[in-house]
Amino acid sequence: MIMNAHGNSNGNGNGNSNGSVQSLEEKLDELRNLLGKSNNDPLKIVSVGAGAWGSVFAALLQDSYGQFREKVQIRIWRRPGRAVDRATAEHLFEVINSREDVLRRLIRRCAYLKYVEARLGERTLFADEILKDGFCLNMIETPLCPLKVVTNLQEAVWDADIVVNGLPSTETREIFEEINEYWKERITMPVIISLSKGIEAALDPVPHIITPTKMINQATGVDMENILYLGGPNIASEIYNKEYANARICGAEKWRKPLAKFLRQPHFIVWDNSDLITHEVMGGLKNVYAIGAGMVAALTNESATSKSVYFAHCTSEMIFITHLLAEEPEKLAGPLLADTYVTLLKGRNAWYGQMLAKGALSPDMGDSISGKGMIQGVSAVKAFFELLSQSSLNVLHPEENKPVAPVELCPILKTLYKILISREQSSQAILQALRDENLNDPRERIEIAQSHVFYRPSLLGQP
């Protein structure tokens, strides 16, 4: 197994320490043993939330390990009763008929007729029932394997060994507070893998960031050693279609290394890292700037120059923010830039920015968009702006030689807040921000960050 510069396994291949190749069943048995599962007790994995990433993650596990029915049980929970609108039902029918493998599968399962009836308007389809046939409402173009869907949350989680958090950050606390009620009688707590990107801003007693893993910890009392974050430069549909992708699983060594090995596939490279919180925060931060990237692309007719100028400015702001959050920010540069790049290229937040700039959507419509799900970057803009506006976090302005709130060195973040949250400005303001003669050269902002002691451990709840 190859090691990277920081001593973390890079996850290439499925090899173990003696160079042999582990079979899927051997990897499953290894994880079962670690979790103390007996021979007649299947490993129970449940994904909570059925957005694109949550659904693909569950389908990925089902595709790999679902064949070992006596050893593992993989399920996904989503709320019941969400009707699929007529336009989506019609499009879904077209997708089904364009894919011979999907068409045959539905006919074989006697499920095809319900899509015909929905097409004719004689039947209402529901999101939970189409998920059972392998269709995620936020990713209709990519049919998944059929999934075991549970709509009763207590039934889904009460005895789960591994719980995957596929919820938006804005829903994580509420759902896990409910889950906690079902875990009152548990003797041992499950391992939790959070896929969620986004943050909450807490201003008392000092301004600090609350990430989804921390929300889960606070809601359930599950020890942070048992809570991990999985994220990285990837697109859900590409992962399911077995295109090259990678991710990092971050958290305590006890679980991150065996889970990295369990999740790793030839097309899905999983690295592991001990720095959970800052990787998790970075996963939310890049969504902020992806919205602006979409706006710039739409407003400049996909101008390569404009997009590259924006990329230079937004990455310099993110690098500045990493110097506030991490004592050794250079370790985050690679993962942050890679994740940002893929999100700008093909993510839902960049798409949302494009739709706003084109006038196809407006901020008044909210951040939950049909066919796309939750646009996490919107709440992240609000949270980062509120946090970095606090005078208690003041940094010395390099030119004015006076203390200022950190947000004053983040003009793009300020502009996105005025467009998306306070709604003082239109999308066009993002271009004006790039043309502002007072805007620091991106290189200068990076030099400022590197030459000053900006680290604020309190931002991550550190003493």
Query: What CATH number does residue 246 fall under?
Result: 3.40.50.720
CA distance 231 to 8: 16
User: Residue 320: inside a domain, yes or no?
Assistant: yes
The residues near 107 (Cβ < 8 Å, ≥ 6 apart) are: none
Residue 247 lies in a domain: yes
Per-residue model confidence (pLDDT) at position 1: 33
> Which one-letter DSSP state was computed for residue 441?
P
Q: Examine residue 368 and state whether it is found in any structural domain, yes or no.
A: yes
The reported pTM is: 0.90
- Establish if 60 belongs to a structural domain: yes
In 331-375, which residue ranges form alpha helices assigned H by DSSP?
Answer: 333-346, 348-358
Cα separation values, 15 from 24, 31, 239, 319, Å: 11, 15, 21, 35
378-410: per-residue pLDDT in tens? 999 999 999 999 999 888 777 777 888 999 989
d(CA 317, CA 448): 11
Beta bridge partners of 165: 48, 194
Whether 70 and 206 share a structural domain: yes
- Indicate the pLDDT class of residue 234, thresholds 50, 70 and 90: confident
**CATH code at position 347:** 1.10.1040.10
Is pLDDT of 208 > 80?
yes
Would the pLDDT of 438 be above 70? no
Give yes or no: residues 337 and 436 share one domain.
yes
Are 113 and 154 within one domain? no
Residue 209: pLDDT band with limits 50, 70, 90: very high
Q: In the predicted model, what is the mean pLDDT of residues 246-271?
A: 94
Of 239, 289, 64, whose CA–CA distance to 139 is shortest? 239
- What integer pLDDT is reported at residue 154 of this predicted model? 97
| pLDDT above 70 for 10 | no
Of 195-199, 203-207, 214-218, highest mean pLDDT = 214-218
Q: Which residues of 114-145 are buried (b: 16+ CB within 10 A; e: fewer)?
A: bbeebbeeeeebbbbbbbebbbbbbbbebbbe
List C-alpha distances in Å: 128 to 112, 137, 144.
16, 9, 14
Contacts of 174 (CB under 8 A, 6+ apart): none
Q: Are residues 93 and 241 in the same domain?
A: no
Q: Name the token pair of 320.
A: 């500045």
**Do 369 and 421 sit in the same domain of this protein?**
yes
On average, the pLDDT of the chain sits at 90
The domain boundary, picked from 274, 306, 329, lies at 274
**Catalytic residue (one of 27, 197, 286, 372):** 286
The percent of residues above 90 in pLDDT, for the chain, comes to 70
> Residues 316, 441: one domain?
yes
Q: pLDDT band at residue 439, thresholds of 50, 70 and 90? A: low
d(CA 375, CA 198): 10
φ, ψ of residue 162 in degrees (nearest 5): -130, 125
CA distance 367 to 52: 16
Residues 6+ apart with CB under 8 A from 26: none
Task: Give the type of residue at 52.
Answer: A
Residues 6 or more apart whose Cβ sits within 8 Å of residue 130: 84, 92, 137
Same-domain check for residues 395 and 363: yes
* Domain membership flag for residue 11: no
- Domain stop point among 253, 274, 295: 274
pLDDT computed for residue 14 by the predictor: 47
Claim to verify: residue 405 and residue 308 sit in the same structural domain: yes
How many Cβ atoms from other residues are within 10 Å of residue 198's Cβ?
27
Average the pLDDT over each of 17-26, 42-51, 70-79, 293-302 and give the range with the smallest value: 17-26
| Same-domain check for residues 389 and 368 | yes
Looking at the structure of the chain, the number of domains it has is 3
Residues 6+ apart with CB under 8 A from 1: 9, 10, 11, 12, 15, 16, 17
User: Does residue 46 share a domain with residue 175?
Assistant: yes
| Structure tokens given for 357 | 């700039």
Range of 109's domain? 86-125
Q: What is the pLDDT confidence band of residue 7, given thresholds at 50, 70 and 90?
A: very low
Q: Are 68 and 91 found together in one domain? A: no
Going by pLDDT thresholds of 50, 70 and 90, the confidence category of residue 370 is confident
Average pLDDT over residues 180-200: 94
Are the C-beta atoms of residues 461 and 211 closer than 8 Å to each other?
no
For the cut 90, the answer to whether the pLDDT of residue 303 exceeds it is yes
Question: Does residue 132 lie in a domain region?
Answer: no
Domain boundary among 229, 252, 274: 274
User: Averaged over 24-40, what is the pLDDT?
Assistant: 95
Q: Which residues contact 81 (CB under 8 A, 6 or more apart)?
A: 126, 128
- Is residue 318 over pLDDT 70? yes
> C-alpha 379: how far from its chain's center?
13
Q: What is the pLDDT of residue 343?
A: 87
Has residue 209 been placed in a domain? yes
Q: Please determine, for residue 4, whether its predicted confidence score (pLDDT) is greater than 60.
A: no
Structure tokens at 33: 């043993």
Q: How many angstroms separate the first and last alpha carbons of the chain?
A: 36
Contacts (Cβ under 8 Å, ≥6 apart) of 27: 14, 261, 262
Cβ-count burial of 68 within 10 angstroms (0-12 exposed, 13-18 middle, 19+ buried)? middle
- pLDDT, residue 5, reads 35
Give a yes or no: residue 10 inside a domain. Answer: no
In the residue annotation, 286 being an active-site residue is answered as yes
Q: What is the mean pLDDT of residues 97-108?
A: 96
Task: State whether 260 and 345 are in the same domain.
Answer: no
Q: Return the bridge partners of 73, or none.
A: 44
Residue 338 has a pLDDT of 84
CA separation, residue 186 to residues 157, 160, 172, 173, 360 (Å):
11, 10, 21, 20, 49
Strand partners, 191: 162
In the predicted structure, residue 198 carries a pLDDT above the cut 60: yes
> Which alpha helices (H) appear in 66-152, and where do they start and end?
86-98, 100-108, 112-119, 127-132
pLDDT band at 296 (very low <50, low <70, confident <90, very high): very high
Q: Give the model's pLDDT for residue 47.
A: 98
